[in-house]
Each structure stands twice: as C-alpha cells, then as structure tokens.
Amino acid sequence: MLTSGAWSLFRPSMFYIARVDGAIEVWDFLVQSNKPVLVQSISGSALTGIYPSRLGPVQNIIGVSDITGNFRIFFVPQEHMKSDPRNKEAVTEFFHRETECRHFAQERQDKWKACNADLLQVKKMDIQAAMKKREAEKKAKERLEREKRIQEEKELQMGKLKEEKDHMKEEKAMKRWNLEQEKYLTDVLLEKKKLDESALMDKKVPLDKFQEDERQKRLKQEERMKQQDKLTERISLMFPEIIRETVKADTNMEMVLKELEETVNIFVEHYKENEEKALMFKTNNTFEYQVNWKELLAEGKNRRHVIDVELYRNTGRIDRYHKAKQELKEKLDSLQGKKGEYGKQGPSRRGDLQLKKLSHLGRREK
C-alpha cells in the first residue's frame, strides 16, 4: 500500500514512492516502466511522507517521515542527480506514446467486443450458469449439513431420553427396594417388640380420622372463601352504591392520614424552632472559667515540695535507727563470742558491765 510520493528535482523521469511497510521505491520511466529501479527499506513503521530539499545550496538530500514521528534525511545518489536536457522531451514523448497505446487498446477492445458479441453473450451465459451451479451445490451442501446436524440432534435427544428412561427405571427399582426394606424392618421391629400389627392399625385409626377431618375442614374453608369472593363480585355488579360508599370510606381514610402527616410536620417545625432558640442561647451565654491555672499549679508545686521534705526527713530518721540497731547487734554478737571464750572462768566484771550498758542503749534507741 502506497502512502506518499514526490518527483525528483534532477530528472523529470524519476519519482519516489513511500510504502506502508517502511520501504521507499525509486522509479525511472526512461530506464524501465514495469518495476522500480531501486527499493530501499527505511523504517520498521509505515512511511508518511517524502520531502526533497528545495532550499539552500545543497539540494541533494531527501527527507522521509514515518508514523512514529521520526524524520530521516538521506543523500541522493550521484547517478540519480545526473540529467540530460533531452530527458524532458523523452518523458513527454513517453507519456504521449503510452496514452496513444491505451487509446488504441481501448478501441481495439471495443471493436473486438462488437464483432464477437454472440461469443461474449455465450461466455457470459456460461459464467452465469457456472455461478448458478456453484450456488446450487453450495445450497445442497448446506442442506446436507443441516440435515446431518438435525439427525445428530435427534440422536442426541434419543440418547438423553434413553438415559432418562434408564434413570426412571433405576428410581422405580430404588423405590421398590426401599419399600421392601421398610416392610422388612417393620416386621423385624414388630417381632422384637412383640407387637401386633392389627392392634397398632386399630390405634392408628383415630389419628387418621383426625387428619382426614382436618383436611376436609381446610377444603371447606377454602371453598367458603371462594364463594365469598364470588358473592362480593355479584354484589358489586348488582349494587354499585356499596362500592361507592367503600370508595368514600377510603377517601376519608386518606384525609385522616393527610391530617396526621400535617400534624407531624407541625411538631417537627416546632422542634426545629426550639432547637434554634437553644443554640442561640448557648452561643450568647458561653461558660467562663473562674480558675487561675498559674496560681493553682504553683500551689500544687509548693505542696509537693513540702511533702517531699517531710518524706526525706522521716526516711532519714528510719535509716539512722536501722543502722544503729545493726551496729548494736554486731557488738552484742562480738561480746557473746568473747564470753564463750572465757569458759569456766566466767566473764569478767568489766565485760558484764559493757553488755548491760549496750543492752540499755539499745532499749533507749528503740
């Protein structure tokens, strides 16, 4: 597929063509007119334009753009820049000759058609007959395929029916088996419990009768409701005034509902008004705090300081007491040890006095 083209600026018989596959073709009618003289791949994307240089002293370049926005510039080969003044006349003669050849071929074709009209008609009829034959064969093939498809669908349907029948047979066999098993289990249970089936059936009669009565009662009630509906329809047809009164009653009910809705709306409006008044009163009468936080914090700090001092003083007194008690205990232990060393000689009078003195000091400290 071609996307763009441009004539050469040097040779009147040469032009360039851009293709969608990213290649560029160079044609020269004076060299050959059946195929391009050069095919060059430029881009992997479709080319969108070819632009020979027309400005500046350097005109031997050509620009090519592609669909991705890239623009490439190439130099024109030297052999494509060589031109002869007679090329223009040769190209003009080439175009004139080709035009005359086309007219001659057209006239000859028209003349041949006029001379061989019968042959063309026969050929046309043969072509139409061949087309009709192909259409008939196509229709016959479609009909055969349709019949084959219908036959396959029928076979599939028959297979499904057969499967359903087999399934129904299985269901019937299963039901029969379940009934036999139920009967067998019933007989076994009656035999183990040593019960009489006839006595059980006699006891079941009142229950069956009660169920039947309930069913009959329900059927009668349904029949009565149906008759009541029919009677209502007949009354509505015979006495339409009653229907009008019913409609009036319905309209009265609608009025009552409407009044109730209006009352609710009034209450809602009053509530909104009171809410607005309360909010306005709240904004106009804001609560002011009467507390000096700085004084309050300073007072708490002083109180904490006093408590800490008292605690430190008490803890110091207690520590001194425990320390003195420990020292006294150590001295007493040392004196007791010395007393044991004296043995039978007995303690000296001086040691006894020290022991008594320390004991007295300990009691005093306490």
Residue 184 maps to a domain: yes
CA distance 354 to 338: 12
Residue 69 maps to a domain: yes
Residue at a domain's end among 83, 102, 128:
83
- Structural domain containing residue 72: 2-83
Predicted confidence at residue 341, as pLDDT, reads 53
Residue at a domain's end among 133, 162, 193:
193
CA distance 94 to 333: 145
Predicted confidence at residue 362, as pLDDT, reads 46
Q: Which of 219, 216, 243 is nearest to 232 (CA)?
A: 243
Residue 332 maps to a domain: no
Kindly report, residue by residue over 30-68, the tens digit of the pLDDT: 888 889 998 989 888 899 999 888 776 667 888 999 998
Residue 239 maps to a domain: no
Residues of the chain under the 70 pLDDT cut:
56-58, 236-253, 287-291, 338-366
Predicted confidence at residue 23, as pLDDT, reads 92
Predicted confidence at residue 352, as pLDDT, reads 53
**Measured in whole angstroms, how far is the alpha carbon of residue 341 from the centre of its chain?**
99
> What are phi and psi for residue 52, nearest 5 degrees?
-70, 150
Residue at a domain's end among 83, 106, 135:
83
Please tell me the total count of domains within the chain.
Answer: 2
Pair 11, 55 in one domain:
yes
Residue 326 maps to a domain: no
Residue 35 maps to a domain: yes
3-class secondary structure per residue, 105-124:
HHHHHHHHHHHCHHHHHHHH
Residue 182 maps to a domain: yes
Predicted confidence at residue 58, as pLDDT, reads 66
CB 30 within 8 Å of CB 91: yes
CATH of residue 66: 2.40.10
Predicted confidence at residue 18, as pLDDT, reads 92
> What are phi and psi for residue 170, nearest 5 degrees?
-65, -40
Pair 188, 122 in one domain:
yes
CA distance 227 to 330: 118
